Amino acid sequence: MKAIYIRGHNNGNVLSTLLLDAFLEVHEVVNVVDAVGLLRSNSYSFVFIYDKTVDIPIIQADRMLSKLIDNKHIYILSNEAESFKPNGVWVQLPQHLTDLSQIVQLDIENGQEEKPSKKIDLSQISILAKNDGSFMEDILSTFIEDSKVAIESFNQSLKERDIQGIGRMAHKIKGPLNILGVNSLDQELVTLDDLGMDNSNVVDWNSVQQSIRLILESLKQILGEVQEELLESKS
């Protein structure tokens, strides 16, 4: 299981050791923005954050992180008593540091990482299909092929720094995703679509790469869900 430790400029040796003792793979970052980037591109079980060493107000950090990971797995570490009602878990240091290690160990013993929530919603397709199983299967099969092409195209266009190609694929895949009830990628897809049509020579490739990483990660999960639905519809 993996954890992010937002240590700011604190060396955090004690906490890092405790987390490693709990058999966690610990990724240390110095600010909340880096943590958000990791959470968007990978699966993490826990986030630990020191309230006095982060680059933004802790209440804002708490809200940002709680949108990306289960609240009960966000641990706010502070030398003071709880100063606001956090989404995450407030841990007063240093007396509760050992308790924190025990809590983490208990969570690990009680189960593995939670499965990501399901992304697709086939209710719209079901209405269109009107109990026509073959119609449903055709849509799902087509999406499987389209998504494989999209994944390959995004990777290739990113490698070639082809922003027009990225924009075209973003535009092409948005409709099929919406039909599957997936709207969570709309902002990234629209932004890439606009960039592709802009024909600007100035492109923030770091931002583009982050968006594509998020899209590809989601597409892989969506593809798996669609494949499962297709198998069930044929059984």
Could you tell me if 145 and 200 are in contact, meaning their C-beta atoms sit under 8 angstroms apart?
no
Nearest-CA neighbor of 185 among 199, 171, 203? 171
Query: What is the predicted pLDDT for the residue at 209?
Result: 92
Helical pair 205-234 and 133-159, crossing angle rounded to 10 deg: 160
Query: What residues pair up with 5 in beta bridges, in sequence order?
Result: 28, 48
Kindly report each contact of residues 17-20 with a partner whose C-beta sits within 8 Å and lies 24 or more positions away, as own/partner. Answer: 18/97, 18/98, 18/100, 18/101, 18/104, 19/48, 19/101, 19/104
Could you tell me if 49 and 65 are in contact, meaning their C-beta atoms sit under 8 angstroms apart?
yes
Nearest-CA neighbor of 114 among 79, 71, 146? 71
Per-residue pLDDT of the chain (235 residues; tens, 9 = 90+): 778 888 766 545 556 665 655 556 778 887 888 888 888 777 787 888 877 766 778 888 888 888 888 777 788 877 777 767 777 777 766 555 555 656 666 665 554 444 556 788 888 888 887 778 888 889 999 999 999 999 999 999 999 999 999 999 999 999 999 999 898 899 999 999 999 998 777 889 989 999 999 999 889 889 988 998 888 877 6
Taken in order of first residue, the domains within the chain and their CATH numbers are 2-110 (3.40.50.2300), 123-234 (1.20.120.160)
Greatest alpha-carbon pair distance for the chain in Å reads: 62
> 3-state class of 67 per DSSP?
coil
Could you tell me if 47 and 77 are in contact, meaning their C-beta atoms sit under 8 angstroms apart?
no
Nearest-CA neighbor of 125 among 113, 139, 111? 139
Query: What is the predicted pLDDT for the residue at 112?
Result: 46
Count of alpha carbons within 13 angstroms of residue 12, beta-carbon side: 26
Query: What is the predicted pLDDT for the residue at 35?
Result: 85
Q: Where are the beta strands (DSSP E) in 30-184?
A: 46-50, 74-78, 89-92
What's the Cα-to-Cα distance from 118 to each of 114, 151, 224, 226, rounded to whole Å? Answer: 12, 19, 10, 11
